[in-house]
């Protein structure tokens, strides 16, 4: 169930409410008891990875590692074929 943010247009009171998406939006302000509560547009929560798999330290550079030497060795172009 998501958390919704509300603001009262009558008194300016701000609050959060935790309810189902199927439930109707709240309209009555708990502070002034007037019907002026409006739901704010939220940005949503960030992406959350759960379980095993991806961790921020998986691709972290090891201490003291030279970034140039950590690259795979470049292959040299093949020598031109000998003329017959």
Name the pTM for this structure. Answer: 0.50
Q: Which residue has the tokens 């309810």?
A: 19
Q: Residue 58: pLDDT above 80?
A: no
User: Of 3.40.50.150, 3.30.70.890, 3.90.1200.10, 2.20.28.10, which CATH number belongs to 1-42?
Assistant: 2.20.28.10
pLDDT at 11: 95
List Cα–Cα distances, 22 to 15, 27, 41, 44, 50, in angstroms. 19, 15, 17, 17, 26
Over the stretch 22-49, which tens digit does the pLDDT of each residue have? 999 999 999 999 999 999 987 666 666 6
pLDDT at 21: 86
Radius of gyration of the chain (CA): 29
């Amino acid at each position: 169930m998501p958390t919704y943010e509300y603001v009262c247009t009558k008194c300016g009171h701000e609050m959060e409410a935790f309810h189902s998406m199927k439930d109707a939006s709240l309209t009555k302000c708990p502070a002034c008891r007037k019907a002026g509560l409006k739901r704010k547009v939220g940005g949503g929560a960030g992406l959350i990875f759960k379980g095993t798999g991806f961790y921020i330290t998986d691709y972290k550079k090891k201490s003291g590692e030279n970034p140039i030497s950590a690259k795979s060795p470049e292959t040299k172009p093949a020598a031109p074929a000998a003329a017959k």
